[in-house]
């Protein structure tokens, strides 16, 4: 059970949060211009890394804010949390 440092509320129990999958998947600005393959790339394809991964998290039972997290999936170490729109911290 992680202890997550919500960028808005501070450290809270993982049970207050939900994970929203891979971060920095930008919704295409002009979906209609995309081929099926290109759209499928956005719609379906997600990395599932063993190691350092960028993830979206939502403080669902708290401030309801979405934010990003850098987590090592092999040992669950959380390296950083940062607000939406902020640049990911460089490794």
Note the residues at the interface with other proteins (CB under 8 A): 1-3, 13-14, 20, 26-27, 30-32, 34, 36, 39-40, 43, 56, 58, 60, 64-66, 75-76, 84-85
Closer of 33 and 91 to other proteins (Cβ): 33
C-beta of 90: minimal distance to other proteins in Å? 21
Closer of 3 and 90 to other proteins (Cβ): 3
d(CA 27, CA 34): 12
Q: What does the longest C-alpha to C-alpha distance in the chain come to?
A: 43
Q: Which residue has the tokens 């992680």?
A: 2
DSSP state of 24: -
C-beta of 68: minimal distance to other proteins in Å? 9
* Alpha-carbon distances of 52 from 13, 47, 59, rounded to whole Å: 21, 11, 21
Closer of 58 and 80 to other proteins (Cβ): 58
């Amino acid at each position: 059970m992680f202890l997550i440092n919500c960028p808005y509320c501070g450290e809270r129990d993982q049970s207050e949060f939900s994970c929203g999958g891979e971060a920095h998947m930008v919704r295409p600005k002009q979906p209609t211009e995309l081929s099926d393959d290109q759209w499928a790339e956005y719609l379906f394809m997600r990395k599932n890394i063993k190691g350092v991964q960028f993830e979206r998290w939502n403080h669902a039972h708290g401030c309801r804010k979405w934010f990003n997290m850098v987590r090592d999936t092999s040992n669950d170490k959380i390296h950083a949390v940062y607000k939406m729109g902020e640049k990911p911290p460089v490794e």
